[in-house]
């Protein structure tokens, strides 16, 4: 490498992958010398393991590396990809930026900058639509409060049954907060106390058996951003004491270390359990409960907002059809009836899985009842979900027309009343949109503003 290096606008986390370990380490050390956090991997498997432990902003990879696409898949759309082109053989790996041999310092830095910009563009595109979908009043109230406190430093406790979208709400709050740091999620219930402490606060080399090097904790990774602690009720009493101190002072020491780190991280916690009862039972510290119970948002179960099922099902179907590699325009009336009538004990997560299964197993252009899981079809009477009341008031077909009409109106408004764009947003073609509008008695031309 040659030319005089120049610093990138802001430091970032990088992973350098090359089967020539010395080359990878040399490039990573050079990038560290410029103020970035860079590590090296000598194989695709090692790179995938590294990405599983901690996400990175940009992956710099040798295009001739065996199984390079696997590394790209593990990095995901959130990371930029710089491909170092081999001198002779070509590469099947597509990246955000490429550097041809001979590799020069300035070219590498410019490529990293382009890759970061490309990843940021993908993130911005993904953030255009809110992560939490629905128009039911119970959900709109939650989203209204979330929007009002997003830009504040308030600690947020998200409650609700499993599968209601607590993680998605946490991401939405981070997205709307204006914080430039990362969103870091920790599944507290998946780790033992020792591993959770190391995961949250990091450790120094020699802190315990297997700790061969210093490791940065998730709180430090969330500096300037948001840390989301899922299933906080599973934390042991000892861990609760440590968390209380961190939440009060935002300071901590890594496992086995003496240096105190201070961070600026927004904290969002979630649980499906009733913390008040756990406090009364002596299983959760009262002082920690009052510390995290600043703003509480309860995600409503899907059975209590059945009118949102068509919107969510359409959203899931659009994504599932892409995965299945075929065109699926929507649902038959019978299939939609079954989806709306189901109680969804697994909530939004169960609905997503049911629709994905239907997209994979179905053969027609519309998802039919036979494509749905048996659990969705073997339903009992709904209790407290609102659909029974709707059916008492009007036939199902008329009741379903209300949310369907609203879906079309919302899509038209978001797309500037361009019918082709609205159809794409709904996951259907323009002809189907016209047919649906005619069946619902909607004059699309007359609805447009100024007409």
Whether 243 and 385 map to the same domain: the answer is no
Band of pLDDT at residue 206, cut at 50, 70 and 90: low
Q: Is residue 3 part of a domain?
A: no
User: CA-CA distance, 169 to 188, in Å (whole number)?
Assistant: 18
Whether 377 and 283 map to the same domain: the answer is no
Instruction: Please say which residue of 300, 323, 338 terminates a domain.
Output: 300
Whether 69 and 146 map to the same domain: the answer is no
Q: What is the CATH number of the domain that holds 217?
A: 3.40.50.300
pLDDT tens for 262-282 read: 999 999 999 999 999 999 999
Interacting residues of 55 by C-beta distance below 8 A, sequence separation 6+:
13, 75, 76, 78, 79, 182
Instruction: Please say which residue of 126, 147, 175 terminates a domain.
Output: 126
Domain extent for 321? 304-447
pLDDT tens for 391-405 read: 333 344 544 555 677
Looking at per-residue pLDDT, the higher value among 291 and 122 belongs to 291
Whether 181 and 280 map to the same domain: the answer is yes
Q: Is residue 5 part of a domain?
A: no
Q: Is residue 132 part of a domain?
A: no
Q: Is residue 7 part of a domain?
A: no
- The region of weakest confidence among 284-288, 362-366, 378-382, 388-392 is 388-392
Strands 226-230 and 266-271: parallel
Whether 326 and 442 map to the same domain: the answer is yes
Q: Is residue 131 part of a domain?
A: no
**Domain tally, the chain:** 3
Whether 342 and 269 map to the same domain: the answer is no
Phi, psi (degrees; rounded to nearest 5) at 230: -85, 145
Whether 271 and 393 map to the same domain: the answer is no
Looking at per-residue pLDDT, the higher value among 91 and 266 belongs to 266
Instruction: Please say which residue of 259, 276, 300 terminates a domain.
Output: 300
Band of pLDDT at residue 417, cut at 50, 70 and 90: confident
Q: What is the CATH number of the domain that holds 442?
A: 1.10.8.60
Please tell me the pTM assigned to this model: 0.58
Q: Is residue 1 part of a domain?
A: no
Q: Is the pLDDT at 418 greater than 50, yes or no?
A: yes
Q: Is residue 40 part of a domain?
A: yes
Band of pLDDT at residue 90, cut at 50, 70 and 90: low
pLDDT number for residue 255 = 83
Q: Is the pLDDT at 408 greater than 50, yes or no?
A: yes
pLDDT number for residue 278 = 94
Q: Is the pLDDT at 448 greater than 90, yes or no?
A: no
Q: What is the CATH number of the domain that holds 92?
A: 3.40.50.2300
Band of pLDDT at residue 284, cut at 50, 70 and 90: very high
Q: Is the pLDDT at 305 greater than 50, yes or no?
A: yes
- C-alpha radius of gyration, the chain, whole number: 25
Whether 113 and 222 map to the same domain: the answer is no
pLDDT number for residue 58 = 92
Whether 229 and 349 map to the same domain: the answer is no
Closest CA to 272 of 227, 304, 240, 233: 233
pLDDT tens for 114-173 read: 888 888 766 655 443 456 888 888 898 999 999 999 999 999 999 999 999 999 999 999
Q: Is the pLDDT at 297 greater than 90, yes or no?
A: yes
Looking at per-residue pLDDT, the higher value among 423 and 186 belongs to 186
Average pLDDT, the chain: 82
Whether 273 and 336 map to the same domain: the answer is no
Q: Is residue 28 part of a domain?
A: yes
Token pair listed for 158: 């998200």
Whether 147 and 281 map to the same domain: the answer is yes
Alpha carbon dihedral 88, 89, 93, 98, in 10-degree steps, equals 10
Closest CA to 133 of 428, 351, 336: 351
Whether 75 and 105 map to the same domain: the answer is yes
Edge-first strand listing for the sheet containing 156-159: 183-187, 226-230, 266-271, 156-159, 295-298
Per DSSP, 180 falls in state: -
pLDDT tens for 14-62 read: 999 998 889 999 999 999 888 888 999 998 888 888 887 777 889 999 8
């Amino acid at each position: 490498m040659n030319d005089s290096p120049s610093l990138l606008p802001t430091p970032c986390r990088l992973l350098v992958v090359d089967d020539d370990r010395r080359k990878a380490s040399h490039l990573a050390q050079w990038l560290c010398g410029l103020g970035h956090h860079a590590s090296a991997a000598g194989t695709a498997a090692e790179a995938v393991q590294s990405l599983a432990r901690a996400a990175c902003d940009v992956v710099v990879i040798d295009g001739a590396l065996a199984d390079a696409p696997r590394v790209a898949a593990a990095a995901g759309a959130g990371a930029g990809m710089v491909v170092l082109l081999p001198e002779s053989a070509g590469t099947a790996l597509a990246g955000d930026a490429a550097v041809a041999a001979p590799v020069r310092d300035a070219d590498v830095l410019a490529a990293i900058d382009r890759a970061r910009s490309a990843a940021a563009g993908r993130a911005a595109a993904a953030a255009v639509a809110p992560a939490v979908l629905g128009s039911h009043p119970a959900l709109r109230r939650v989203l209204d409060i979330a929007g009002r406190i997003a830009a504040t430093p308030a600690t947020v406790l998200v409650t609700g049954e499993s599968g209601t979208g607590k993680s998605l709400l946490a991401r939405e709050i981070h997205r709307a907060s204006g914080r430039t740091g990362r969103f870091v999620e920790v599944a507290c219930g998946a780790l033992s106390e020792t591993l959770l402490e190391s995961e949250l606060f990091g450790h120094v080399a020699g802190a315990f058996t297997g700790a061969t090097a210093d490791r940065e904790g998730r709180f430090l990774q969330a500096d300037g951003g948001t840390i989301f602690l899922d299933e906080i009720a599973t934390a042991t009493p000892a861990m609760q004491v440590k968390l209380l101190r961190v939440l009060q002072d935002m300071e901590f020491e890594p496992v086995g270390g003496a240096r105190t780190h201070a961070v600026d991280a927004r904290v969002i916690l979630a649980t499906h359990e009733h913390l008040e009862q756990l406090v009364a039972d002596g299983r959760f510290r009262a002082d920690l409960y009052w510390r995290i119970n600043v703003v509480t948002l309860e995600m409503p179960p899907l059975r209590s907002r059945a009118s949102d099922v068509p919107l969510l099902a359409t959203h899931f179907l659009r994504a599932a059809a892409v995965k299945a590699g075929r065109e699926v325009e929507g649902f038959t009336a019978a299939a939609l009836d079954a989806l709306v009538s189901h109680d969804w004990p697994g909530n939004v997560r169960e609905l997503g899985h049911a629709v994905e299964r239907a997209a994979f197993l179905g053969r027609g252009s519309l998802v039919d009842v036979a494509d749905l899981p048996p659990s969705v079809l073997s339903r009992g009477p709904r209790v407290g979900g609102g659909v029974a009341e709707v059916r008492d008031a009007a036939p199902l077909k008329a009741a379903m027309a209300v949310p369907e009409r609203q879906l079309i109106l919302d899509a038209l408004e978001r797309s500037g009343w361009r019918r082709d764009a609205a159809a794409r947003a709904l996951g259907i073609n323009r002809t189907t949109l016209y047919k649906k509008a005619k069946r619902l008695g909607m004059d699309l031309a007359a609805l447009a503003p100024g007409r």
